[in-house]
Amino acid sequence: MLTVEGLSAAYGSRKVLTDVSFHLENGKVLGVIGPNGAGKTTLIRALSGVIPLAAGRVSVNGQDLRKLSEPERARLVAVVPQARNLPAAFTGLEMVQLGRTPYVGWTGGLSLRDIQHVHRAMQRASALELADRRLGDLSGGEQQRLLLARALAQEAPLLLLDEPTTHLDLQHQIHLLGEVRSLAEHDGLTVVMALHDLNLVARYADQVALIAEGGLRALGAPQAVLDPELLSQVYHLPLQAIPGRDASRPIILPTVL
C-alpha cells in the first residue's frame, strides 16, 4: 500500500514536482504517463527515496520512507531501472544476488535463505538461464529481465519501474509488462511504472496518473485519464481514440497517423 501526500521535489531551486498526492492499494498497478520533462522519472526517484523531498510524505504500508535507513527502505521499495551502462564483467547471478544487499551484512555473505530468494526471483523473472552469462554479452531484453529479478530479490512490497520497455522490442515489451501484471495480481505487489506508450499503459495499468508541468493533471482508471481531448492538450499534439479489442480500452494515436 503506497500513500503519497503533498509530494514536492526540486533540483536546487528548480521545482520539478509540486503537490502530488495519491493512494495505491496492494496488488494494483499505477501507470505514470506524461510528456518528456514532465517529472515522471523524478516521481520514481522521489518514491524510491534517492532524492530529498522538498515537501510531503511517502509511506509504504504505513511506514514513512524518510524515517528509514537505506537498507530498511530497500526492503520496502525496489526499483527496476532502465537497462544501460551495466557493469559488463558481472554475471547475471552475481547481479541478482546484489538484490539481497538490504538483508546481508556489509561483507555481503549470503545465507541459504538469501540464495533461495535469489533463485525464486530469477525464476519469477524468467531469468534462470541467464545466471552464468556476463551482462556485457546480453541483449537489452535479457538485461531487463535480470534487473527485474534483482528488484524481486529485494522482496519489497512496492515495485517501481522507470521506462522499463524503452530498449525492448514489441515481443519483450508485452512479455515484461505481462510479468509485472502477474506480480501484482498473484504476488500482491504494488507497482508504479513510468511509461511512454499510452496504449501499453491502457492495457496493463489499473490506474493512470498523468503528470504534466510538474503536477498531477489527472488520476483514475485508464478509460477516464486516457481521454484524447485531455491528452491532446497535455502533449500539444492532436490525438484520436480508436476502438480497440476491448471496448473499455481504446487505442490512442496521433491524428497524423
Partner 1 sequence: MKPSARPYLIVTALLLFALALSVAVGSVFIPFPVLAELFAARLRGLAGPEQLHSFAVIVFDLRIPRTIVIALAGAGLSISGAAYQGLFRNPLADPYLIGVASGAGLGAVLAMNFGLAGKTLFGLLGVPVAAFAAALLTVALVYQLARVGHTLPTTNLILAGMAVSAFATALTTYLQLSTTSDLRRFIVLLVGGATMSGWQPVIAMLPYIAVGAAVLVNAGHALNVFQFGEEQAAQMGLPVERLRRVIVITASLTTAAAVSFAGVIGFIGLVAPHLVRYLWGGDYRRILPLSALAGAAMLLYADVLARVVQAPQELPVGIITALAGAPFFLWVLRRARQQAFW
3-class DSSP assignment, residue 149? helix
CA dist., res. 42 & res. 54, Å (int):
12
Q: Are strands 190-194 and 14-24 parallel, antiparallel or unpaired?
A: unpaired
In the complex, the smallest distance separating the C-beta of residue 114 from partner 1, rounded to whole angstroms, is 12
Footprint of partner 1 on this chain (CB under 8 A)?
45, 48-50, 69-71, 73-75, 77-79, 81, 85-91, 94-95, 98-99, 101-102, 104, 106-108, 136, 150, 154
Is the CB of 13 or the CB of 69 nearer to partner 1?
69
Cell of 79: 526499483
Q: Cell triple for residue 124?
A: 519469477
For residues 79 and 192, which CB has a smaller minimum distance to partner 1 in the complex?
A: 79
Comparing CB distances to partner 1, the nearer of 120 and 253 is: 120
Q: SS3 for 13?
A: coil
Taking the least distance from each CB to partner 1, the nearer of 45 and 249 is 45
Q: What is the CA radius of gyration of the chain?
A: 18
CB of 46 to partner 1, least distance (A): 12
Minimum gap (Å) between residue 237 Cβ and partner 1: 31
Tally Cβ neighbours within 10 Å of residue 126.
Answer: 15
Rounded distance between C-alpha atoms, residue 39 and residue 41, angstroms: 6
Cβ proximity to partner 1: between 108 and 238 the closer is 108
DSSP state of 19: E
How long is the chain? Answer: 257
CB of 87 to partner 1, least distance (A): 4
Q: Contact at 8 Å (CB) between 130 and 138?
A: yes
Summary count for the chain: helices (H), strands (E): 9, 12
Q: Give me the least distance between CB of 105 and partner 1, in Å please.
A: 8
Cβ proximity to partner 1, 40 vs 249, nearer residue: 40
Place of cell 503528470: 211
Shortest spacing between CB 221 and partner 1, in angstroms: 29
Contact predicate 29/6, CB 8 Å: no
